């Protein structure tokens, strides 16, 4: 069993890159639910021997994800806004850092975890291991698509309360366990994602 947890389980980040020993402090119902599910998986592994691997995943993006809103993939959502020549809003200065992992790299991580016995019962942080600021992420999208614009706006109060701070994944534990390594750089990943939706956007409401 492979559990797809989230970086949001960590809550406010104390230091980066974030390794598996960073304290958990979920600040949203989503993150709290992911943490509860992780504990349930761990319980069944320890009590009944059910094999499982626990992932805490950074920010995934790539083809075949929905693009209707930002809740599941910020990159995909902003890519859609650019493709529709809309204005992308960035909260604050845009200097906040995130770790974006391309879907093919994430899928390969799941496959490696499934076939590596040493991974059973372990928790791993999975991401690209590379930090990208919000403003650089948006600029990469605008440059790739060739349309859209950006607007900087103040942080809404409800977002300030749940903002976790900068995040970059420490991926060494999983690399050492499996030999896995992310292969798709952000620039390439955005181009691949754009090419996919340019060809098949009709299936996603574009």
Question: 107-121, pLDDT tens digit by residue?
Answer: 999 999 999 999 999
Whole-number mean pLDDT of the chain? 95
| Pick among 1.10.15.40, 3.40.50.300, 3.40.50.720, 3.40.1180.10: CATH of 2-204 | 3.40.50.720
- Going from the C-alpha of 169 to that of each of 8, 21, 22, 187, 206, the distances in angstroms are 12, 12, 11, 18, 32
With CA atoms as reference, report the closest residue to 169 among 120, 119, 113, 109.
Answer: 109
Beta bridge partners of 18: 169
User: Tens digit of pLDDT for each residue in 93-142?
Assistant: 999 999 999 999 999 999 999 999 999 999 999 999 999 999 999 999 99
Backbone phi, then psi, for 85, in 5-degree steps?
55, 40
At 205, is the pLDDT very low, low, confident or very high (cuts 50, 70, 90)?
confident
Q: Give dist(CA 132, CA 189) in Å, integer.
A: 13
Please report the pLDDT score of residue 202 as a whole number. 85
Closest CA to 39 of 3, 10, 80: 3
Q: Which of 191, 177, 201 is nearest to 53 (CA)?
A: 177
Sequence ranges of the domains in the chain: 2-204
Dump strand ranges (E) for the chain. Answer: 2-6, 53-57, 59-61, 87-91, 97-102, 123-126, 131-133, 149-153
């Amino acid at each position: 069993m492979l559990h797809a947890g989230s970086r949001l389980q960590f809550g406010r980040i104390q230091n980066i890159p974030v390794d598996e020993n960073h304290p958990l402090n979920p600040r949203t119902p989503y993150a709290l639910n992911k943490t509860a599910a992780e504990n349930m998986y761990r319980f069944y592994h320890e009590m009944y021997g059910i094999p499982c691997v626990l992932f805490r995943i950074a920010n995934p993006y790539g083809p075949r994800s929905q693009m209707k809103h930002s809740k599941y993939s910020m990159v995909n959502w902003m890519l859609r806004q650019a493709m529709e020549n809309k204005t992308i809003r960035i909260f604050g200065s845009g200097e906040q850092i995130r770790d974006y992992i391309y879907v093919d790299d994430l899928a390969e991580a799941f496959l490696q975890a499934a076939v590596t016995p040493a991974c059973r019962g372990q928790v791993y942080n999975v991401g690209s291991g590379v930090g990208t600021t919000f403003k650089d992420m948006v600029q990469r999208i605008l440059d790739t698509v060739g349309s859209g614009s950006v607007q900087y706006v103040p942080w809404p109060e409800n977002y300030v309360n749940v903002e976790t701070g900068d995040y970059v994944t420490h991926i060494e534990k999983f690399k050492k366990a499996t030999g896995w390594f992310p292969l798709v750089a952000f620039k390439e990943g955005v181009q691949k994602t754009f090419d996919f939706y340019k060809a098949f956007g009709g299936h996603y409401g574009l």
